[in-house]
Amino acid sequence: MKPFVYSRATEAAAAVRQVSNERSAKFIAGGTNLLDLMKSGVELPDRLVDIARLPLAEITALPQGGVRIGAMARNSTAANHPLVRERYPVLTQAFLAGATGQIRNMASVGGNLMQRTRCPYFYDPAMRCNKREPGSGCSAVEGFNRIHAVLGASEQCIAVHPSDMCVALAALDAVVRVQGPEGEREIPFDDFHRLPGDTPQQDTNLRHGELITAVDLPALPFAKRSHYLKVRDRASYEFALVSVAAVLDVSGGRVRDARVALGGVAHKPWRAREAEKILTGARANEETYRKAAEAALSGARAYKHNTFKIELAKRAIVRALSTAGGSGA
Amino acid sequence: MNENERQTISVNLKINSVNHALQIEPRVSLLDALREFAGLTGTKKGCNQGACGACTVLVDGTRINSCFALAVQYEGRDITTIEGLAEDGELHALQSAFIEHDGFQCGYCTPGQICSAVGMFKEFQRGLPSAVSETMTGEIEFSDEEIKERMSGNLCRCGAYVGITEAIHEAFDAEVKR
C-alpha cells in the first residue's frame, strides 16, 4: 500500500477543512471498502482523515415521525436499532443482506453510501476502466459482464452500485445531510448517486471535502409493510445480481401507495417510478405486480452475459411486492 | 507523497489487557500490527481482503476483520485475540467445544472462527436479527440456519463446518435466552 499521512479528526469542521485543502485527501471511517481499494492500488490518497470517532453515530427519532441515522453509526447498530426495525423493516433487512457480521460491525452508514462498484475491471489496475482512469476505455462492455448494468448505463461504463442499504434508502426517500467548507446542505437520495454518462469517475454528487453527517428517513407509516429481496449467486456474503426494496400500502385489496427500488441493475440504486405509477390504485394481486415489473424494466438493455438479469429482476419485483403486500387485506 | 517522507507514529494498542507501544506507519493494518509488531501470531492472515475471516478479532467485544483495519484507528480500544480468550489457564468454553467436536482439520481458520463465534453470540444475545430470521422484531431461535448465516464471514477450506456448528451449539445453547 502506498504510504499516506494520517490524522484523527475530533470535530467535523476540522475534518472538512483538512480534506478540502488537499486534492488527494480522503475521509476514512470503517475503512472496509477504502482500505481494500488502497491495497489494490485503485485508491491512492496522500492523506487520510479519520472521522470514525466524530460524535455522529446517534440514531434518533425526528419530530414528524421520521428517524435520523448518524453517518458514523455502524451498519449492524443501525440494523438493530428499534426505531429502524419497527418503522423501516426493509432497511434492517437490506443491512443484514449485505456483507458479513464482521464487516457490518465496521462499516459506517456514511461509508456505505460511498461504496464503489465491485466491477472486477475497476478493481484491476491492469484493465481498462473509465471509472478508475477516465478515457482509458471500458473492459466490461466487451468483457465478462454477467454482473453488470441493464438500466441507465452508458458507453463509458456499465458498472453497478453494490450497496444493499442504498436500495432501501432509495425506496424510503431518504435525505443525505452533508457538511462542506461552505456549510451544510441536504441531498435528496435520488440526487446523491449519479448515472455514469460521460463521467463515470464520479459516483456521487458530493463535492470534494463534503462530509456526510447523517441520513434522514422521512415518516412513512406504511413502511412497516415492506420487504427487501436479494438474489445472489451464494446464499450469504455475496453482492446482489438483482435486489428489490418494496414498500406497499395495501387496504381493501387495493394498493394505496407504493415505493419500489432496485439494486444490482444500474450505476445507482434504481427507483422504479414507472412501476409505482402502475401499482398505485390498482388491485393488489400478482397480475398488477407483473405489470409493474414489466414497466420497471421497459427501458432495460442487456449485454452479452447479463440478459438473464432482466427477467430475474421482473420476477424478483413480483415476489418482493407479493411478500410486502401480504394477503392484501 | 514520496518514500522518504514516510510518517511513523506511536500507536498504543491494548491487546488482551496488555499495553503495547508500537512505532508503526499509518498504513500498517491491525492484523500486521498484531502479528509482526506485537508478536501475537495467533491471529491469522488468510486472504487479507475481508473475504475469509481468518483475521477476526474482538474490539470492545465486537468482532471485526483485522485485515480491513488500520492499527492506528484502534488505539485505546480493548482488543481481544485468540491468545486472550482463555482465563486463568482455562480454555474458553468454545475452545474446548472445538476440540470436542472436531471443529477444525488444519486449524488455520480456527482462531478467526472462534473469535467470530464469540462475537456472533453476543450479537445474538443483543437481539440482532440476521438475513435468515423470520422476524425483524420478535424472538429468534438459535438454529443451525442462524449460525451458518451469522458465520458466513468465516471460511474453512477443510470443510469442518459441521463440527464448527456443533461446537457453537455446545458452547452457547445453555446460555440462549428463552
ipTM comes to 0.97
Does the distance separating the beta carbons of B151 and A102 come in below 8 Å? Answer: no
Q: Do domains B3-84 and B93-175 have the same CATH topology?
A: no
Domain definitions of chain A by residue range: 224-325
Poorest-confidence range of A95-109, A229-243, B82-96, B126-140?
B126-140
3-state secondary structure of A178: strand
Instruction: Assess contact for A112 and A163: CB atoms under 8 A.
Output: yes
Q: Grade residue B138 by pLDDT with cuts at 50, 70 and 90.
A: confident
A282-320 pLDDT, tens digit per residue, is 999 999 999 999 999 999 999 999 999 999 999 999 999
- Which are the contacts of B10, defined by CB distance < 8 A and separation ≥ 6? B21, B22, B23
The CA–CA distances, whole Å, from A139 to A147, B96, B153 equal 13, 50, 30
Domain definitions of chain B by residue range: 3-84, 93-175
B149-159 pLDDT, tens digit per residue, is 999 999 999 99
Tell me which of 1.20.1530.20, 3.30.420.40, 1.10.150.120, 2.60.40.10 is the CATH number of domain B93-175.
1.10.150.120
C-alpha cell at B22: 508500537
Other CB atoms closer than 10 Å to residue A142's CB: what's the count? 11
A121-144 pLDDT, tens digit per residue, is 999 999 999 999 999 999 999 999
Closest residue, chain A, to B153 (C-alpha): A100
Using alpha carbons, select from A51, A171, A184 the residue that is nearest to residue A111.
A51
A201-227 pLDDT, tens digit per residue, is 999 999 999 999 999 999 999 999 999
Q: Grade residue A329 by pLDDT with cuts at 50, 70 and 90.
A: very low
Distance from CA of A142 to the nearest CA of B (A): 28
Does the distance separating the beta carbons of B48 and A102 come in below 8 Å? Answer: no
- Strands B78-80 and B9-15, bridge-based pairing: parallel
Residues of B with CB under 8 A from a CB of A: 1, 3, 5-7, 9, 25-27, 29, 48-50, 53, 56, 62-65, 68-70, 72-73, 116, 119-120, 123, 126-131, 133, 136-137, 148-153
- Which are the contacts of A6, defined by CB distance < 8 A and separation ≥ 6? A47, A48, A50, B7, B9, B26, B70, B72
pLDDT for B6 equals 78
Q: Grade residue B4 by pLDDT with cuts at 50, 70 and 90.
A: low
In this structure, CATH architecture of domain A224-325 = 2-Layer Sandwich (3.30)
**In B, which residues are within 8 Å of A162 by CB distance?**
none
Q: Does domain B3-84 have CATH number 3.40.640.10?
A: no
Q: Is the pLDDT of residue A157 over 80?
A: yes
Q: Is the pLDDT of residue B171 over 70?
A: yes
Q: Is the pLDDT of residue B177 over 90?
A: no
Q: Is the pLDDT of residue A152 over 50?
A: yes
> Rounded mean pLDDT of B67-75?
97
**In A, which residues are within 8 Å of B136 by CB distance?**
85, 89, 92-93
Question: Does A52 lie at the interface with B, CB-CB under 8 angstroms?
Answer: yes
